[in-house]
Amino acid sequence: MPDTPAPESFTDDERRALAPYFTNVDRPVFVLRNLPEVVKAALFARYSRSAKSLRRLFLDEFRGAPAGRSGAGPHPNPPPLPPSEIGWGLTGEGTVGVARSEQLFARVLAEYGDDSVAQLGGAHIAVEGASNLLTKALEWGRLMAYLEQSTRYIPYTQRDGGRWRYHVPAELEGSALRERFVAALDRSFAVYARWLEPAIAYFKQLLPPPENAVAGAFQATARAQALDALRGVLPAATTSNVGIFGSGQAFELLLLRLRAHPLAEARACAEAMRAELEQVIPAFLTRVDRRERGGVWSEYLAATRTATEQTAAALLAGVAAQPRDEVTLTDVDPDGEVKVVAAALYAVSSLPDDQLLAQARALSPAQRADVLRAYVGERQNRRHKPGRAFERTAYRFDVLADYGAFRDLQRHRLLSLEWQRLAPDHGYVTPAAVVAIGAEAEWGEVMRTAGELHRAIADAGLADVAGYALPMAYRVRFYMEMNAREAMHLIELRSTPQGHPAYRRIAQRMHRLIGEHHPAIAAAMRFVDHSEAEQGRLAAEQASESLLIPNARGEPAVEEPGPRLAALLQLLQVGLQRFEQLAGGDALALGAQVVEDQQALAEQVERAAPAAAMKVQVHAAGHHQQRPHQRLLVLVVADGVEHRFELLLGGEVVAAVVEVDAGLELLTLRRVHARSITGLLRVWERGVDRSSVVSRRSSVRSASSDD
């Protein structure tokens, strides 16, 4: 680092004393190591009130002192000490440096009230066997890092000590409801375990055959999709393991919240965490147990929750929830894009904020687009994000989704998110795969039993405890409020093809809603994936390959299609040929030409099948993973039934997704190579029972627990 003063020099003895705890002793940038958290925090606390360098502070005030010597200050001729004399170093735990640091730390917190000092040290802690209600309470804080055991990748078929992996709430002890609770949850897990292998076999049929795919990726993808489909039958009491890293301040706040939590499991977890953290960062937690600090704080949290619930019960009694879509944009600033433009100009101008806003309003739409284009730049992947100007506008979404999808989305902590109690009021979802493998009846039986158990527990005065009983397929309402920058991160991440279908759909809907109000901001989110490919995980692990897929029952192909199927395939072939002709052009040019040719396409279908009518809708450019694609959506009405063809072009690969009614006798087609289009005319036609092929539009079914 030229043009900076040379770092101070140290004697040979001092260099030897510093070496175990600093990555270098002669450069101005260095990292602390082999020191307990409290020593590092106390060093930095002194840093802010001392003219000395950090390494000099360490030598003069933290290297140790003879027994009986107290107070912080330089020691005359301090001898170099082994790591054990400093604290948790290379050879063990000492007491001198730690004791001095704890004294300083306590004085800074108590006398100066400087909470920022509590942010300077942290700890890693593991919480195992936590229910899925508890994990959401643990993962509430914004300024902590979490990793949770995933129901998407780990099968819950193993029994621990002969028991399925779920938590039995202490509130049910001594009640007849406990036996009923255990029986219902045992049944949920049994259904999950019974249908896992059939679900894996089902998804294997929908993937490329092993000879055309990497064997490991093939097996892993099929299993992951099966776990995705079946996780909804697991109850919220299902246990998980959570790893947490946070600062001392973050842990202090977490413990105070858990102590005020209505669930006994959360309160017990707080005490267990407190005991373990006391062994690592005791100085950071001294205020938790103080009556005037932690005690009144936890009481305040509990009291405000109770008072708000009572007020809401009085004011909202008898008010029924109105129906809403899965995702509703409830608040958006109509001037949001103008404000983002003004914010983008702020750092590169000398004008005040309000004047810049006026200037942005005076710009033409094209000029504002130029500003955003320059500010966003050429993003090469979704990790390239524009700056804080995108934080100038925000969106508030009300979401009604299954609890499993909520669990995934709740991990986005920098946005504002609140959720309501998990209850059976909003019904549950039934994935298409559950229907396809024949598990729908048992799925519904588990849901109805759980709904009845929930009501019984709630009627016993345990409304919060009742949520343990409900499977994750039940829907929960929550809101997510985020600025445009966070929206870009969430939507692009959660729409990737390898994501769970439930939250992919939510992210895609959020993007469309933003686009209705702020099209330029939505366009900047260029890595949002609106495809409906069901092979996203496999595509993430290997290149797409040319394939045709048999139906869910693995029936063989029939050489010649019937007349209606042939007509639809001809339409599909014309669409693909149009894509091939315009592969080098843009989607808008494609759209103009397709609309111009609409009548010709309609006449071609009419000649092949007089009963068919068609209409064409063209969507502009989008993106599939990291490859630009052009998207043509063809809606065909045959015999009064609407069918949809969605064509995506990316490079030389065309993804063709055909959605049909089961009565049309058309089986499901996924990815094909443009060069193999002639093979489509030999796609299978066979009488198909409606229970074996489920329309993609019906892939998520909502029902009340009484259905």
Of residues 258 and 601, which shows the higher confidence score? 258
Is residue 78 located within the same domain as residue 157? no
Structure tokens at 333: 């600033």
The predicted pLDDT at position 220 comes to 82
Question: Is residue 499, in this structure, part of any structural domain at all?
Answer: no
* Three-state SS at 680: helix
What is the mean predicted confidence (pLDDT) over 347-354? 97
> Of 315, 348, 368, at which residue does a domain stop?
315
The predicted pLDDT at position 5 comes to 66
Is residue 152 located within the same domain as residue 79? no
Residue 428 to residue 188: CA distance in whole angstroms: 14
Question: Is residue 441, in this structure, part of any structural domain at all?
Answer: no
How many domains, in total, are found in the chain?
4
Above 70 in pLDDT, residue 507? yes
Above 50 in pLDDT, residue 314? yes
Is residue 26 located within the same domain as residue 140? no
> Of 390, 410, 430, at which residue does a domain stop?
390
Q: How far is CA 205 from the centre of its chain?
A: 28
Q: How far is CA 391 from CA 26, 191, 624, in A?
A: 41, 46, 26
Question: Is residue 579, in this structure, part of any structural domain at all?
Answer: yes
What is the mean predicted confidence (pLDDT) over 195-210? 86
Is residue 239 located within the same domain as residue 371? no
Question: Is residue 508, in this structure, part of any structural domain at all?
Answer: no
For the chain, give the number of residues: 707
Is residue 69 located within the same domain as residue 137? no
Question: Is residue 668, in this structure, part of any structural domain at all?
Answer: yes
The predicted pLDDT at position 589 comes to 42
What is the mean predicted confidence (pLDDT) over 665-679? 31
Question: Is residue 450, in this structure, part of any structural domain at all?
Answer: no
Of residues 148 and 635, which shows the higher confidence score? 148
82 falls in which pLDDT band (50, 70, 90)? very low
Question: Is residue 449, in this structure, part of any structural domain at all?
Answer: no
Is residue 300 located within the same domain as residue 341? no
What are the residues facing 503 on neighbouring strands?
none
Is residue 241 located within the same domain as residue 369? no
Is residue 343 located within the same domain as residue 248? no
What percentage of the chain exceeds 90 in pLDDT? 50
Above 70 in pLDDT, residue 194? yes
Residue 457 to residue 185: CA distance in whole angstroms: 14
Contacts for 579 with CB less than 8 Å, ≥ 6 apart: 590, 630, 632, 647, 649, 654, 674
Q: What is the pTM of this model?
A: 0.71
> Of 120, 146, 166, at which residue does a domain stop?
120
418 falls in which pLDDT band (50, 70, 90)? very high
Q: How far is CA 141 from CA 256, 265, 304, 353, 536, in A?
A: 12, 18, 18, 32, 31
Residue 45 to residue 117: CA distance in whole angstroms: 6
* Three-state SS at 453: helix
Is residue 115 located within the same domain as residue 264? no
The phi and psi torsions of 453 (rounded to 5 degrees) equal: -65, -40
Instruction: Count Cβ atoms within 10 A of the Cβ of residue 600 and give its class: 0-12 exposed, 13-18 middle, 19 or more buried.
Output: exposed
Is residue 99 located within the same domain as residue 154? no
Strand intervals (E) in 424-493: 428-431, 475-483
Above 60 in pLDDT, residue 18? yes
Above 50 in pLDDT, residue 638? no
Convert the pLDDT of each residue in 144-177 to its tens digit: 999 998 877 789 998 888 899 999 999 999 999 9
Question: Is residue 494, in this structure, part of any structural domain at all?
Answer: no
What range does the domain containing 635 cover? 563-702
Is residue 602 located within the same domain as residue 686? yes
Produce one character per residue of 661-690: b if its CB has 16 or more CB atoms within 10 Å, e if not.
bbebbbbbbbbbbbeebeebeebbbeebee
Above 90 in pLDDT, residue 102? no
Is residue 68 located within the same domain as residue 154? no
* Pair 576, 677: CB distance under 8 Å: yes
Residue 307, domain CATH: 3.30.70.3180
* Pair 266, 156: CB distance under 8 Å: no
Convert the pLDDT of each residue in 578-601 to its tens digit: 444 444 444 334 444 444 444 454
DSSP 610-667: TTEEEEEEEEEEEEETTEEEEEEEEEEEETTEEEEEEEEEETTEEEEEEE--GGG-BP
The 8-class DSSP code of residue 554 comes to -
